[in-house]
């Protein structure tokens, strides 16, 4: 009887533990790509006019799942810090979309993607590629608000890559606004935190937003690897940090991307890194900006599938300028040959998986008096 009672108690405790764990899991406080939010970030927007992969374009879609109209503030930032902001209304249950390159839009008339060099001191990257950041505000753009009803996608198109037209689609990273009891109630009338400063902490306090993943992980096929009917030619990582300064008088926030790569035998490969700022697309392989880029190649990994972890750390040196720890939001794109062919047949891509918790921020210029 004592043994039976012990088993019953243990079972009861296990069920209680499972319930607590499930409740904790339900209270997600880190940005991801499957939820709705008040802040959306697309790490890869491109209008590259030509080059190795031909002309490129991006289709943006954003939806309001709420039962009332919400105002949305957006900003493009290219890899050399050129930027432009715009805003619009999204009525209840409405989806708006626009073609970044042609400017054709459904419900939104977006400005041209900025192709100027915003900061001459920053020399890396393309002025034709960058990110899009959008978040809910009040109608007068005086402060950001809680409106956990926004979702978004991007379709990245290669208009003439190796003689073919290709595209892949990914979900925007979504950050929910938070309150003292978890998710904040949708309210267009009160500021969500201090105007002009979105705090990405993940805390259940008034005015906060979801935290950023401390690092990203990805499954990938190494450059040059073949498995069955698919062979990977190369891999590119588009990654933005959660230290975002969208103000007119902005500061550049740099970090060091540190990679660890594992092959399918669980052998780990380290020493791979690259110094970046808040908006970047980098090739993963040899003859790129990445140190020890051969860790992404089949000749090094010797297995047809692998995985990597990337995190943003403070490391000045080896980076030439001051760096800081930063949460990351990534999209991985892979050029592939399908069915045994030797040339590129498709560009495939998806967002990375987030893990861990890292605080961050988005700073912007509201309408009205300057904010401290």
Task: Indicate if the pLDDT at residue 119 is higher than 80.
Answer: no
pLDDT of residue 22: 34
The fold of 39-212 is Hypothetical Protein Tm1070; Chain: A (2.60.290)
Average pLDDT for 263-282: 96
Q: Where residue 122 falls among pLDDT bands split at 50, 70, 90?
A: low
pLDDT digits (tens, 9 = 90+) for 16-42: 333 333 333 334 799 999 999 999 999
Pick the residue with more confidence: 41 or 160? Answer: 41
Mean pLDDT of 202-210: 96
pLDDT at position 89 over 70? yes
Ramachandran area for residue 250 (φ above 0: left; ψ -120 to 50: alpha; else beta): beta
pLDDT at 316: 79
Q: What is the DSSP letter of 186?
A: P
pLDDT averaged over every residue in the chain: 90
Q: What is the mean pLDDT of residues 310-337?
A: 93
User: Once rounded to an integer, what is the mean pLDDT over residues 110-132?
Assistant: 88
Stretch among 16-25, 149-158, 316-325 having the lowest mean pLDDT:
16-25
Q: Which residues, 6+ apart, have CB-to-CB distance to 62 below 8 Å? A: 40, 72, 90, 95, 96, 97, 134, 150, 151, 152, 172
Averaged over 84-103, what is the pLDDT? 97
Say yes or no to pLDDT of 1 above 90: no
Contact 231, 336 (CB under 8 A): yes
Residues 6+ positions from 93 with CB-CB distance below 8 Å: 63, 64, 65, 66, 67
What pLDDT does residue 5 have? 37
Mean pLDDT, range 294-302, rounded to an integer: 98
d(CA 280, CA 311): 14
pLDDT band (50, 70, 90) for residue 185? very high
The pTM for the full model equals 0.90
Nearest CA to 309 out of 321, 322, 296 is that of 296
pLDDT of 370 reads 53
**Contact, 210 vs 178, CB < 8 A?**
yes
């Amino acid at each position: 009887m004592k043994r039976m009672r012990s088993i019953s108690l243990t079972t009861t405790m296990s069920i209680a533990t499972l319930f607590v764990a499930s409740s904790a899991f339900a209270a997600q406080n880190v940005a991801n790509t499957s939820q709705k939010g008040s802040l959306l970030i697309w790490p890869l927007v491109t209008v590259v006019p030509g080059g190795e992969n031909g002309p490129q374009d991006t289709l943006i879609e954003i939806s309001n799942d709420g039962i009332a109209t919400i105002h949305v503030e957006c900003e493009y930032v290219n890899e050399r810090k050129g930027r432009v902001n715009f805003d619009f209304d999204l009525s209840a249950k409405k989806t708006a979309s626009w073609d970044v390159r042609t400017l054709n839009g459904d419900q939104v008339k977006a400005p041209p993607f900025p192709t100027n060099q915003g900061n001459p001191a920053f020399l890396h990257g393309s002025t034709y590629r960058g990110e899009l950041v959008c978040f809910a505000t009040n109608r007068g753009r005086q402060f950001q608000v809680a409106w956990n009803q926004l979702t978004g996608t991007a379709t990245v198109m290669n208009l003439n890559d190796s003689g073919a037209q290709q595209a892949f689609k990914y979900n925007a990273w979504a950050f929910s606004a938070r309150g003292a009891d978890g998710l904040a109630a949708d309210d267009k009338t009160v500021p969500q935190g201090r105007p002009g400063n979105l705090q990405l902490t993940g805390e259940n306090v008034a005015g906060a937003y979801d935290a950023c993943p401390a690092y990203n992980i990805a499954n990938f096929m190494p450059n040059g690897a073949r498995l069955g009917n698919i062979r990977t030619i190369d891999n590119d990582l588009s990654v933005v940090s959660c230290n975002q300064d969208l103000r007119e008088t902005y500061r550049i926030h740099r970090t060091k991307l540190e990679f660890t790569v594992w092959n399918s035998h669980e052998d780990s490969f380290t020493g791979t890194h690259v110094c970046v700022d808040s908006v970047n697309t980098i090739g993963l392989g040899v003859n790129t900006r990445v140190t020890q880029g051969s860790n992404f190649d089949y000749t090094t990994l010797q297995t047809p599938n692998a995985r990597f972890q990337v995190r943003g750390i403070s490391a000045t040196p080896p980076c030439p300028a001051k760096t800081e720890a930063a949460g990351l939001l990534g999209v991985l794109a892979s050029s592939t040959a399908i069915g045994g062919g030797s040339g590129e047949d498709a560009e495939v891509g998806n967002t990375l998986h987030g893990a861990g918790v890292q605080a961050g921020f988005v700073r912007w210029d509201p309408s009205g008096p300057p904010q401290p």
